[in-house]
Amino acid sequence: MNGFLPVSRADMEERGWYWYDFLLLTGDAYVDHPSFGPAIISRVLEAEGYRVAILAQPDWRKVESFTALGRPRLGVMLSAGNLDSMVAHYTAARKRRHDDAYSPGNRAGLRPDRASIVYANKVREAFGDIPLVIGGLEASLRRFAHYDYWEDKVRRSVLLDSQADLLVYGMGETATREIAARLAAGTPIGEIRDVRGTAFLGAGPDQCAYPMVECPSFEQVRADKRQYALANRIQYEEHDPVRGRAILQRHGAQLLIVNPPAMPLTTAELDFVAELPYVREPHPMYDGMGGVPAIEEVRFSVAHNRGCFGACNFCSLAFHQGRIISARSHESVLREVEALTRHPGFKGYIHDVGGPTANFRRPACAKQRRAGLCRDRACLAPRPCPNLDADHTDYLLLLRKIRAVPGVKKVFIRSGIRFDYMLQDKSGEFFAELVKHHVSGQLKVAPEHCVDSVLDCMGKPHIAVYERFRQKYERLNRKYGKEQYLVPYLMSSHPGCTLADAVRLAEWLNKSGRQPEQVQDFYPTPGTLSTCMYYTGIDPRTMEPVYVPRDPHEKAMQRALMQWKRPEKRALVREALQAAHREDLIGYGKECLLRPEHRKPPAGKPGTSRQAAEPARPPKPAKKPGWAAAKPKKNARPRKKRS
């Protein structure tokens, strides 16, 4: 046996199995690594003593693909994969993607659109009334009535369209254990109604086991955008494992009941989950297909935490993993690093020691585990909370220990660094060691924009905070003799961003001397606060109106302004500057984005030279030295493509 869980009847027979307990169905290729949610859930069930078989990317057109492993004894656990299937398939411009890093050979089209619904309905066709539980990111973010960007309409909770018995939201280990134990004890799936981190369809409020609040119904949020924004606000306010209440949402005659979130795992529990016997590789059945590209980013990386109190409004993490941080012990992380050094492909480089946000090792403040998150404010933006605990000592000690492991040459941090949180650490010790030891040529950070009103809509710190960070980063690099660069992530067309704001962003980039090679259009993914703004034109935090760039042509102009030097973008940039009445940025000054158009000599005047018909152009000003004018190293790692 190769260490992987069974994927065929032959695998089961090799183990001596003629029955099994749970079928775990996933829309991703089977990669047995703790960065893949289905791998975690399957190993958690295995650790509880259950027999688990994996069905990865079945052909959804054929019911035989779903019955190939036989009927499981206790039930089916279903996930669309690590991404929402629509995000996996389509760009922010709604164009079909040509690749899929979570599929063998980077091949697109091996899972259906809306995979949770399609797979679940096929399970019903194959196995009838078998207990069916859906989970993963797609189900988690679509647990309530939600705006669907691809259909441009409000859809019902995915629980109704999938015909599933239960929906697990969040990371799911605790809920999965409890559901499995009750099914094994003979409890009918229809009686499992009080598990935290789950949702179900009930007949009335009396079936809810927790204090509850009702949000506007599916019919109300579909008909009235203000009601949609109100529902979104309630859903975020109650998404707290300590103080949160169950949320009820009516869908016609049916009542969706979403129980409060599960408590975050303790350090011991997170250590246990991280150290289950993962093979940490794609299944060998994909070797002849080119492997599974998604493993390359995580093969020699270590996840040391969960959750994120950064609370960016466009990010789904707050609505999935939650905002309370859980962290692994130093001993657990070091055991994983030591195991990585024995991997035949290990070259001495730990690519990342991170998570949703790399430099979060503890809750934002001491009261969060006792009293929950503040209902009416974020921890970091627009300014840090006075109670914020920004001590980086524990993370710093962990990194030092990893650097000392025999066989480890370098330890990099490539997942997100929250720079405003770093600046709140008054010692500066972590910042210095980050620059000295943990930057792989380029440090990726996410200012996202430069206009404070847009940053407020994003839930990000104001640009002055980023500028202080950039200046300190430059000073430290000079101090330690490092040639390292900042790679800023930037976003166009976020709610709140006007064309004039996009021009200001282009001016800021031009002044810095840097033009991003890749830019990200705002992508309205299910469930987020920013998606609510996009659909309703209302900020659900304040219930005040917000400007939304929806017109595809305006969005194209905003994007083009961030890459104004590209020849193919010049016509759009010129149009954008004219529409924003910023023709002052067309000229020869160093502040200008475009040069004037070259005009042909006047007709009927032979002998007039082209040069005479054009204004004289002054020489190009010399580039200023510094971080902005420097080019990245040849060997610098390219920026990871963002969905």
- Answer whether 430's CB lies under 8 Å from 359's CB: yes
Q: What are phi and psi of 99, to 5 degrees?
A: -145, 165
DSSP string, 252-286: TTEEEEEPPPPPPPPHHHHHHHHTS----SB-GGG
Print the SS3 string covering 36-94: CHHHHHHHHHHHCCCCEEEEECCCCCCCHHHHCCCCCCCEEEEECCCCCHHHHHECCCC
**What pLDDT, on a 0 to 100 scale, did the predictor assign at position 626?**
40
Average pLDDT over residues 383-404: 96
**What pLDDT, on a 0 to 100 scale, did the predictor assign at position 376?**
81
Per-residue pLDDT at 323 exceeds 50: yes
* Domain parsing of the chain, residue ranges: 9-209, 298-440, 447-457+469-597
**What pLDDT, on a 0 to 100 scale, did the predictor assign at position 634?**
44
Query: pLDDT tens digits, residue range 134-187?
Result: 999 999 999 999 999 999 999 999 999 999 999 999 999 999 999 999 999 999
Per-residue pLDDT at 467 exceeds 50: yes
The residues, ordered by sequence, that sit 6+ positions from 27 with a Cβ below 8 Å of its Cβ are 57, 79, 80, 81, 85, 88, 102, 111, 115, 119
* CA angle (126 as vertex; 124, 128 as ends), nearest 5: 45
Per-residue pLDDT at 93 exceeds 50: yes
- Answer whether 231's CB lies under 8 Å from 144's CB: yes
**What pLDDT, on a 0 to 100 scale, did the predictor assign at position 288?**
95
Q: Does domain 298-440 have CATH number 3.30.750.210?
A: yes
Per-residue pLDDT at 514 exceeds 90: no
Least reliable range by pLDDT among 164-178, 298-312, 400-414, 511-525: 511-525
123/107 Cα distance (integer angstroms): 24
Average pLDDT over residues 556-584: 95
What is the pLDDT confidence band of residue 516, given thresholds at 50, 70 and 90?
confident
Residue identified by tokens 């010692």 is 427
Query: pLDDT tens digits, residue range 310-321?
Result: 989 999 888 899
Average pLDDT over residues 364-385: 89
Strand-pair category, 352-354 with 410-411: unpaired
In terms of CATH, what superfamily is 9-209? Cobalamin-binding domain (3.40.50.280)
Query: pLDDT tens digits, residue range 607-635?
Result: 443 343 444 455 554 444 344 434 444 44
Q: Which two tokens stand for residue 459?
A: 């839930």
**What pLDDT, on a 0 to 100 scale, did the predictor assign at position 612?**
38
Average pLDDT over residues 187-196: 97
370/517 Cα distance (integer angstroms): 45
Query: pLDDT tens digits, residue range 208-252?
Result: 999 999 999 999 999 999 999 999 999 999 999 999 999 999 999
Q: What are phi and psi of 635, to 5 degrees?
A: -90, 5
Give the orientation angle of helix 552-561 with respect to helix 499-512, to 10 degrees. 20
**What pLDDT, on a 0 to 100 scale, did the predictor assign at position 1?**
52
Q: Which stretches does DSSP call E strand in 307-390?
A: 326-327, 349-350, 352-354
DSSP string, 318-333: HHHT-SS-EE--HHHH
Averaged pLDDT of the chain: 92
Query: pLDDT tens digits, residue range 324-354?
Result: 999 999 999 999 999 999 999 999 999 999 9
Average pLDDT over residues 259-268: 96
**What pLDDT, on a 0 to 100 scale, did the predictor assign at position 600?**
56
pTM of the model: 0.90
| Percent of the chain surpassing pLDDT 70 | 93
Query: pLDDT tens digits, residue range 75-88?
Result: 999 999 999 999 99
| Percent of the chain surpassing pLDDT 90 | 86
**What pLDDT, on a 0 to 100 scale, did the predictor assign at position 602?**
53
- Answer whether 499's CB lies under 8 Å from 576's CB: yes
Per-residue pLDDT at 588 exceeds 60: yes
**What pLDDT, on a 0 to 100 scale, did the predictor assign at position 515?**
79
What is the pLDDT confidence band of residue 518, given thresholds at 50, 70 and 90?
confident
Which amino acid is located at 104 in the chain? P
What is the pLDDT confidence band of residue 415, given thresholds at 50, 70 and 90?
confident
Per-residue pLDDT at 189 exceeds 90: yes
Residue 527 C-alpha from the chain's centroid: 12
117/119 Cα distance (integer angstroms): 6
